[in-house]
Amino acid sequence: MRGGRLIAAVAALGLVGAAKPAPDWLPLDPQNTLVIETTRGRMVVAMTPELAPQAVARVKRLAREGVYDGLLFHRVIEGFVDQTGNPNNRDGGTSAYPDLPAEFSARLPAGSPLTVVVRRADGIEGFVGVVPVAGVSAAEQGLGGDHRPRVWGAYCEGVAGMGRQAGADTANSEIFFMRAPARRLDHDYAVWGRVVDGLEAVRAIKVGEPPPDPDRMLRVRLAADLAAGERPRLEVANPAGPAFQARAAALKARLGAAFSVCDLPIVVRRY
Protein backbone atom coordinates (compact mmCIF):
# COMPACT_ATOMS: atom_id res chain seq x y z
CA MET A 1 0.00 0.00 0.00
CA ARG A 2 1.40 3.39 -0.96
CA GLY A 3 2.06 5.97 1.77
CA GLY A 4 -0.87 8.23 0.89
CA ARG A 5 -3.33 5.35 0.82
CA LEU A 6 -1.95 4.03 4.13
CA ILE A 7 -2.40 7.42 5.84
CA ALA A 8 -5.92 7.67 4.47
CA ALA A 9 -6.77 4.19 5.75
CA VAL A 10 -5.35 4.89 9.21
CA ALA A 11 -7.15 8.22 9.37
CA ALA A 12 -10.40 6.47 8.53
CA LEU A 13 -9.87 4.32 11.62
CA GLY A 14 -9.48 7.44 13.77
CA LEU A 15 -5.80 6.76 14.53
CA VAL A 16 -4.31 9.95 13.10
CA GLY A 17 -4.35 13.24 14.97
CA ALA A 18 -4.56 14.00 18.65
CA ALA A 19 -7.84 13.15 20.35
CA LYS A 20 -9.75 16.06 21.78
CA PRO A 21 -8.88 16.28 25.49
CA ALA A 22 -11.64 15.56 27.98
CA PRO A 23 -13.04 18.64 29.74
CA ASP A 24 -11.77 19.38 33.24
CA TRP A 25 -15.28 20.12 34.55
CA LEU A 26 -18.62 18.41 34.13
CA PRO A 27 -22.12 19.66 34.98
CA LEU A 28 -24.24 17.64 37.35
CA ASP A 29 -27.04 15.68 35.71
CA PRO A 30 -30.23 16.98 37.39
CA GLN A 31 -31.97 13.66 36.72
CA ASN A 32 -29.30 11.87 38.78
CA THR A 33 -28.53 14.44 41.46
CA LEU A 34 -30.09 14.18 44.92
CA VAL A 35 -30.30 17.29 47.11
CA ILE A 36 -30.61 16.53 50.83
CA GLU A 37 -31.28 19.38 53.26
CA THR A 38 -30.24 18.26 56.74
CA THR A 39 -30.11 19.85 60.15
CA ARG A 40 -26.36 20.17 59.52
CA GLY A 41 -26.52 21.66 56.03
CA ARG A 42 -27.02 20.60 52.44
CA MET A 43 -25.62 17.41 50.92
CA VAL A 44 -25.52 17.03 47.13
CA VAL A 45 -25.24 13.44 45.89
CA ALA A 46 -24.29 12.45 42.33
CA MET A 47 -26.10 9.17 41.68
CA THR A 48 -24.71 6.38 39.50
CA PRO A 49 -27.36 4.15 37.92
CA GLU A 50 -24.60 2.36 35.96
CA LEU A 51 -23.60 0.65 39.23
CA ALA A 52 -26.96 0.06 40.93
CA PRO A 53 -29.91 0.97 38.71
CA GLN A 54 -32.59 -0.46 40.99
CA ALA A 55 -31.17 1.22 44.09
CA VAL A 56 -31.03 4.57 42.29
CA ALA A 57 -34.60 4.14 41.06
CA ARG A 58 -35.77 3.32 44.61
CA VAL A 59 -34.02 6.35 46.14
CA LYS A 60 -35.56 8.60 43.49
CA ARG A 61 -39.01 7.16 44.09
CA LEU A 62 -38.87 7.56 47.85
CA ALA A 63 -37.50 11.09 47.52
CA ARG A 64 -40.29 12.08 45.12
CA GLU A 65 -42.91 10.60 47.44
CA GLY A 66 -41.52 12.54 50.42
CA VAL A 67 -40.74 9.35 52.36
CA TYR A 68 -37.27 10.57 53.32
CA ASP A 69 -38.41 13.99 54.56
CA GLY A 70 -37.89 14.33 58.31
CA LEU A 71 -36.22 10.96 58.87
CA LEU A 72 -33.55 10.67 61.56
CA PHE A 73 -29.91 9.72 61.22
CA HIS A 74 -30.58 6.85 63.58
CA ARG A 75 -27.14 5.20 63.57
CA VAL A 76 -24.01 7.33 63.26
CA ILE A 77 -20.54 5.95 63.96
CA GLU A 78 -17.52 8.24 64.02
CA GLY A 79 -14.98 7.28 61.39
CA PHE A 80 -17.54 5.07 59.65
CA VAL A 81 -21.11 5.92 58.55
CA ASP A 82 -24.18 8.14 58.82
CA GLN A 83 -27.21 5.84 58.52
CA THR A 84 -30.77 6.97 57.78
CA GLY A 85 -33.73 6.27 55.50
CA ASN A 86 -35.83 3.88 57.60
CA PRO A 87 -39.41 5.15 58.01
CA ASN A 88 -39.46 3.82 61.59
CA ASN A 89 -36.20 5.69 62.36
CA ARG A 90 -34.35 2.59 63.55
CA ASP A 91 -32.62 -0.44 62.08
CA GLY A 92 -34.87 -2.91 60.33
CA GLY A 93 -37.50 -0.55 58.97
CA THR A 94 -38.63 -0.69 55.34
CA SER A 95 -40.72 1.25 52.89
CA ALA A 96 -44.00 0.02 51.41
CA TYR A 97 -42.08 -1.47 48.47
CA PRO A 98 -40.45 -4.90 48.10
CA ASP A 99 -36.81 -5.48 48.98
CA LEU A 100 -34.28 -5.04 46.19
CA PRO A 101 -31.96 -7.66 44.68
CA ALA A 102 -28.26 -7.41 45.44
CA GLU A 103 -26.38 -4.96 43.21
CA PHE A 104 -22.90 -5.42 44.62
CA SER A 105 -21.08 -5.40 41.26
CA ALA A 106 -21.94 -4.44 37.70
CA ARG A 107 -21.07 -5.16 34.09
CA LEU A 108 -20.89 -1.64 32.76
CA PRO A 109 -23.05 -0.76 29.77
CA ALA A 110 -21.25 0.28 26.59
CA GLY A 111 -20.19 3.92 26.74
CA SER A 112 -20.18 4.13 30.54
CA PRO A 113 -17.87 6.86 31.87
CA LEU A 114 -15.15 4.60 33.33
CA THR A 115 -11.82 6.28 34.11
CA VAL A 116 -9.02 4.01 35.36
CA VAL A 117 -6.38 5.57 37.64
CA VAL A 118 -4.73 2.40 39.02
CA ARG A 119 -3.80 -0.72 37.03
CA ARG A 120 -2.42 -3.70 38.90
CA ALA A 121 -1.91 -7.32 37.95
CA ASP A 122 -4.89 -8.28 40.12
CA GLY A 123 -7.29 -5.45 39.27
CA ILE A 124 -8.02 -1.82 38.57
CA GLU A 125 -9.30 1.20 40.48
CA GLY A 126 -10.92 4.29 39.05
CA PHE A 127 -14.20 6.12 38.67
CA VAL A 128 -17.57 5.63 37.04
CA GLY A 129 -18.53 9.25 36.64
CA VAL A 130 -17.34 10.64 39.97
CA VAL A 131 -18.03 7.50 42.02
CA PRO A 132 -14.91 5.48 42.98
CA VAL A 133 -14.82 1.86 41.85
CA ALA A 134 -12.57 -1.18 41.79
CA GLY A 135 -12.66 -3.87 39.13
CA VAL A 136 -11.15 -7.01 37.70
CA SER A 137 -7.78 -7.03 35.95
CA ALA A 138 -7.39 -6.63 32.21
CA ALA A 139 -6.41 -10.31 31.96
CA GLU A 140 -9.52 -11.46 33.80
CA GLN A 141 -11.65 -9.04 31.81
CA GLY A 142 -10.53 -10.80 28.64
CA LEU A 143 -11.92 -14.16 29.75
CA GLY A 144 -15.28 -15.41 28.56
CA GLY A 145 -17.59 -13.83 26.03
CA ASP A 146 -18.74 -10.71 27.93
CA HIS A 147 -15.88 -8.21 27.86
CA ARG A 148 -17.77 -5.32 29.41
CA PRO A 149 -15.86 -3.98 32.43
CA ARG A 150 -16.86 -5.66 35.71
CA VAL A 151 -16.59 -3.22 38.60
CA TRP A 152 -17.96 -2.60 42.08
CA GLY A 153 -18.27 0.54 44.18
CA ALA A 154 -15.32 1.43 46.40
CA TYR A 155 -16.37 2.64 49.83
CA CYS A 156 -14.36 5.84 50.08
CA GLU A 157 -15.31 8.94 52.07
CA GLY A 158 -18.61 10.43 50.92
CA VAL A 159 -19.79 7.34 49.06
CA ALA A 160 -23.52 6.59 49.40
CA GLY A 161 -24.63 3.00 49.95
CA MET A 162 -27.84 1.02 50.45
CA GLY A 163 -28.32 -0.46 53.90
CA ARG A 164 -29.70 -3.97 54.27
CA GLN A 165 -30.42 -6.75 56.75
CA ALA A 166 -28.47 -10.01 56.94
CA GLY A 167 -29.73 -11.30 53.59
CA ALA A 168 -28.06 -10.06 50.41
CA ASP A 169 -31.42 -9.25 48.80
CA THR A 170 -32.84 -7.11 51.62
CA ALA A 171 -31.95 -3.52 50.65
CA ASN A 172 -35.09 -1.40 50.75
CA SER A 173 -35.10 2.24 51.85
CA GLU A 174 -32.16 2.58 54.25
CA ILE A 175 -29.23 4.61 52.96
CA PHE A 176 -25.89 5.56 54.45
CA PHE A 177 -23.03 7.97 53.79
CA MET A 178 -19.38 7.25 54.53
CA ARG A 179 -17.63 9.51 57.04
CA ALA A 180 -14.32 7.81 56.15
CA PRO A 181 -13.13 5.01 53.85
CA ALA A 182 -14.12 1.44 54.78
CA ARG A 183 -13.20 -0.81 51.89
CA ARG A 184 -14.35 -3.93 53.75
CA LEU A 185 -17.86 -2.93 52.60
CA ASP A 186 -16.91 -3.38 48.93
CA HIS A 187 -18.89 -6.23 47.33
CA ASP A 188 -21.34 -6.38 50.27
CA TYR A 189 -23.46 -3.25 49.89
CA ALA A 190 -24.75 -1.53 46.76
CA VAL A 191 -23.11 1.81 45.95
CA TRP A 192 -25.60 4.24 44.41
CA GLY A 193 -23.77 7.57 44.50
CA ARG A 194 -21.33 9.94 46.14
CA VAL A 195 -21.61 13.18 48.08
CA VAL A 196 -19.92 15.74 45.86
CA ASP A 197 -20.81 18.77 47.99
CA GLY A 198 -21.56 18.86 51.69
CA LEU A 199 -18.98 16.49 53.18
CA GLU A 200 -18.76 18.91 56.10
CA ALA A 201 -22.43 18.11 56.80
CA VAL A 202 -21.71 14.36 56.59
CA ARG A 203 -18.95 14.74 59.17
CA ALA A 204 -21.06 16.99 61.44
CA ILE A 205 -24.04 14.63 61.88
CA LYS A 206 -24.30 13.81 65.58
CA VAL A 207 -22.83 10.45 66.60
CA GLY A 208 -24.69 7.67 68.43
CA GLU A 209 -26.57 4.38 68.06
CA PRO A 210 -28.97 6.16 68.24
CA PRO A 211 -27.68 9.67 68.98
CA PRO A 212 -29.30 11.26 72.04
CA ASP A 213 -30.54 14.15 69.90
CA PRO A 214 -30.44 12.88 66.31
CA ASP A 215 -30.01 15.03 63.25
CA ARG A 216 -32.52 14.73 60.41
CA MET A 217 -32.93 14.79 56.68
CA LEU A 218 -35.30 17.73 56.49
CA ARG A 219 -36.07 17.63 52.77
CA VAL A 220 -34.86 15.27 50.05
CA ARG A 221 -35.45 16.14 46.40
CA LEU A 222 -34.21 15.25 42.95
CA ALA A 223 -32.48 18.27 41.42
CA ALA A 224 -34.63 17.89 38.29
CA ASP A 225 -37.73 18.47 40.43
CA LEU A 226 -36.45 21.72 41.95
CA ALA A 227 -37.05 25.16 40.52
CA ALA A 228 -34.06 26.41 38.55
CA GLY A 229 -33.09 28.83 41.31
CA GLU A 230 -33.01 26.05 43.92
CA ARG A 231 -30.78 23.65 41.99
CA PRO A 232 -27.11 23.32 43.00
CA ARG A 233 -24.98 25.51 40.78
CA LEU A 234 -22.03 23.16 40.73
CA GLU A 235 -19.63 21.53 38.33
CA VAL A 236 -17.56 18.50 39.33
CA ALA A 237 -13.95 17.75 38.44
CA ASN A 238 -13.88 15.22 35.60
CA PRO A 239 -11.69 12.20 36.47
CA ALA A 240 -10.88 11.87 32.75
CA GLY A 241 -9.82 15.51 32.46
CA PRO A 242 -6.17 16.64 32.25
CA ALA A 243 -6.22 18.52 35.58
CA PHE A 244 -7.58 15.54 37.52
CA GLN A 245 -5.18 13.17 35.77
CA ALA A 246 -2.23 15.41 36.68
CA ARG A 247 -3.34 15.45 40.31
CA ALA A 248 -3.67 11.66 40.28
CA ALA A 249 -0.18 11.25 38.78
CA ALA A 250 1.35 13.52 41.43
CA LEU A 251 -0.34 11.59 44.25
CA LYS A 252 0.74 8.25 42.79
CA ALA A 253 4.32 9.47 42.58
CA ARG A 254 4.24 10.64 46.19
CA LEU A 255 2.40 7.68 47.76
CA GLY A 256 3.77 4.85 45.62
CA ALA A 257 2.26 1.43 46.29
CA ALA A 258 0.08 2.86 49.07
CA PHE A 259 -1.93 4.93 46.57
CA SER A 260 -5.60 4.06 46.16
CA VAL A 261 -8.66 5.57 44.53
CA CYS A 262 -9.78 6.83 47.95
CA ASP A 263 -6.84 9.26 47.95
CA LEU A 264 -8.53 11.28 45.19
CA PRO A 265 -11.41 13.39 46.50
CA ILE A 266 -13.76 14.93 43.95
CA VAL A 267 -13.44 18.69 43.64
CA VAL A 268 -16.40 20.93 42.81
CA ARG A 269 -16.68 24.53 41.73
CA ARG A 270 -19.63 26.90 41.86
CA TYR A 271 -20.80 28.95 38.91
Lowest mean pLDDT, pick from 6-15, 102-111, 142-151, 258-267: 6-15
Distance, CA of 270 to chain centre:
20
The tens digit of pLDDT for each residue in 187-213 reads: 999 999 999 999 999 999 999 999 999
**Is residue 65 in some structural domain?**
yes
Residues 150, 130: Cα–Cα separation, whole Å: 17
Asked if the model's pLDDT at residue 5 lies above 50, the reply is no
Give the number of other CB atoms < 10 A from CB of residue 13. 7
**By residue range, what is the domain housing residue 118?**
30-230
The answer to whether the beta carbons of residues 134 and 151 sit under 8 Å apart is yes
**Is residue 221 in some structural domain?**
yes
The tens digit of pLDDT for each residue in 245-260 reads: 999 999 999 999 999 9
The tens digit of pLDDT for each residue in 173-186 reads: 999 999 999 999 99
- State the amino acid at position 210 in one-letter form: P
| pLDDT given at position 253 | 96
Nearest residue to 47 (alpha-carbon basis) of 30, 61, 64: 30
**Is residue 210 in some structural domain?**
yes
**Is residue 266 in some structural domain?**
no
How many domains does the chain divide into? 1
**Is residue 90 in some structural domain?**
yes
| pLDDT given at position 19 | 67
Question: What is the reported pTM?
Answer: 0.91
CATH number reported for the structural domain that contains residue 91 in this entry: 2.40.100.10
